[in-house]
């Protein structure tokens, strides 16, 4: 669909969804974002848009010589990874419970962590250099070094997941969604608090949109911590993907894996748009530069998509990060039952208890509608449907 332009305050709001389908609080947030004096061209709003802390989930913001930590989100570097295997549906056992159990045994979920560090030189060759940078992070996380090391290669909870999927050719994929775990959250919360106290942010319509300005020590400190956390998140997904692929290798010795796909959807990137160097924050959005591969998941009972970017300049070469929630977690728990969850995840080997009712497919927007709304942002490479879904 063609984007709808809504009049903003400093810049306009360009939306890949119908404005009347966006909840009132989210629209108010978008207007607040559009008032930022550092904003460039427009605010790009993805079709999975919904209310978030400070900045709206599903928003892409380009700022001139400034960055807002809340426009990144508290799970810095959260994103997706996926790999296509040589297996087909016929290679899988009739019951998938055992495979799910073996995957859960190697990837801790929820608040869990590894008893011993799980990362190896098979995942990256520069772990020593990476961990030495921890000593240069903001002092508030100094005591977290050991925990950060043991959480490397863990899933977390909430909407994070690990799946085995089938595409329309019946090929088997592994796909997962996770971020920078507790360490990224603590870094984000610290810098949001620092930004709120800076004098140049005192007149903003929403204190949570506070920014750091280029050339200041606060900006330098944030960018240092931010880029480390984004790297942590990327490595975290790579370690988990390797752990799960090792399970599959043990189960299916003949298996082969294609090149993995990996993408952030809560992050900052230094880019050039409309002839200007800007800092782009994507909160609930992936980069969709022309030819770039990305991953757009649905929910735990619906389809997901592997996509190729079309490089649309009006979206700052971006696309949605998923289906997007249509109701809060609290509302989902009050609206749906475990019986509803079992019905909506029929055919998927997964948890079906009260602890994940807030992740029920009915709490999310329709992924196919979301994809139709961004047909000028991405093209579909493959459609996937999960047969195993692991959540914390």
Q: Is 318 annotated as a binding residue?
A: no
Q: Is 71 helix (H, G, I), strand (E, B) or coil?
A: helix
Q: Is 201 annotated as a binding residue?
A: no
Active site residue 200: no
The neighbour count for residue 109, using CB atoms within 10 Å, is: 18
Q: Is 160 annotated as a binding residue?
A: yes
Q: Is 324 annotated as a binding residue?
A: yes
CA dist 229 and 183 (Å) reads 8
Strands (E) across the chain are located at 4-6, 12-15, 42-50, 57-63, 66-67, 79-88, 161-167, 171-178, 212-213, 261-264, 266-273, 276-283, 285-287, 293-296, 303-309, 318-320, 378-391
Q: Is 321 annotated as a binding residue?
A: yes
CA dist 57 and 243 (Å) reads 30
Q: Is 265 annotated as a binding residue?
A: yes
Residue 61 bridge partners (DSSP)? 281
Cβ atoms of residues 300 and 323 within 8 Å? no
Q: Is 215 annotated as a binding residue?
A: no
* Token digits of residue 321: 């990060």
Q: Is 163 annotated as a binding residue?
A: yes
Q: Tokens 């748009």 sit at which residue? A: 273
Catalytic residue (one of 50, 150, 191, 321): 321
Q: Is 153 annotated as a binding residue?
A: no
Q: Tokens 């475990």 sit at which residue? A: 338
Q: Is 258 annotated as a binding residue?
A: no
Strands (E) across 76-208 are located at 79-88, 161-167, 171-178
Q: Is 188 annotated as a binding residue?
A: no
CA dist 354 and 341 (Å) reads 9
- Burial class (CB within 10 angstroms; exposed 0-12, middle 13-18, buried 19+) of 364: buried
Q: Is 159 annotated as a binding residue?
A: yes
Q: Is 297 annotated as a binding residue?
A: yes
Give the active site residues.
Answer: 321
Binding-site positions for GMP read 159-163, 265-266, 297-300, 304, 321-324, 391
Binding-site positions for Mn(2+) read 75, 160, 177, 265
Binding-site positions read 75, 159-163, 177, 265-266, 297-300, 304, 321-324, 391
């Amino acid at each position: 669909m063609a984007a709808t332009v809504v009049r903003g305050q400093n810049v306009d709001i360009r939306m890949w969804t119908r404005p009347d389908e966006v909840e009132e609080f989210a629209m108010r947030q978008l207007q607040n974002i559009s008032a930022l004096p550092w904003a460039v061209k427009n605010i790009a709003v993805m079709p999975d848009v919904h209310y978030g802390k400070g900045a709206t989930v599903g928003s892409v913001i380009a700022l001139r010589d400034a960055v807002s930590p809340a426009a990144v989100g508290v799970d810095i570097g959260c994103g997706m990874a996926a790999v296509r295997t040589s297996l087909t549906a016929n290679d899988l056992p009739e019951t998938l419970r055992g495979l799910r159990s073996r995957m859960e045994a190697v990837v801790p979920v929820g608040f869990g962590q590894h008893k011993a560090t799980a990362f190896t030189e098979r995942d990256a060759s520069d772990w020593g250099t990476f961990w030495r940078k921890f000593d240069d992070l903001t002092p508030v996380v100094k005591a977290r070094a050991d925990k950060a090391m043991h959480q490397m290669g863990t899933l977390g909870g909430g909407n994070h997941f690990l799946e085995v999927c089938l595409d329309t050719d019946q090929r088997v994929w592994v796909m997962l969604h996770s971020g920078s775990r507790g360490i990224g959250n603590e870094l984000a919360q610290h810098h949001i608090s620092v930004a709120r106290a800076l004098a140049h942010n005192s007149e903003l319509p929403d204190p949570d949109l506070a920014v750091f300005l280029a050339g200041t020590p606060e900006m330098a400190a944030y960018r240092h911590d931010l880029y480390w956390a984004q790297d942590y998140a990327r490595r975290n997904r790579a370690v988990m993907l390797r752990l799960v692929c090792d399970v599959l290798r043990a189960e299916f010795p003949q298996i082969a894996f294609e090149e993995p796909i990996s993408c952030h959807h809560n992050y900052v990137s230094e880019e050039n748009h409309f002839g200007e160097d800007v800092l782009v924050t994507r909160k609930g959005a992936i980069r969709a530069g022309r030819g770039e591969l990305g991953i757009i998941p649905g929910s735990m009972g619906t389809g997901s998509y592997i996509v190729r970017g079309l490089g649309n300049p009006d979206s700052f070469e971006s696309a949605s990060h998923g289906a997007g929630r249509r109701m809060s977690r609290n509302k989902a728990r009050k609206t749906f039952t475990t019986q509803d969850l079992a019905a909506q995840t029929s055919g998927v080997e997964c948890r079906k208890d009260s602890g994940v009712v807030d992740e029920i497919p009915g709490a999310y927007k329709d992924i196919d509608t979301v994809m139709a709304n961004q047909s000028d942002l991405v093209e579909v490479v493959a459609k996937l449907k999960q047969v195993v879904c692991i959540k914390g």
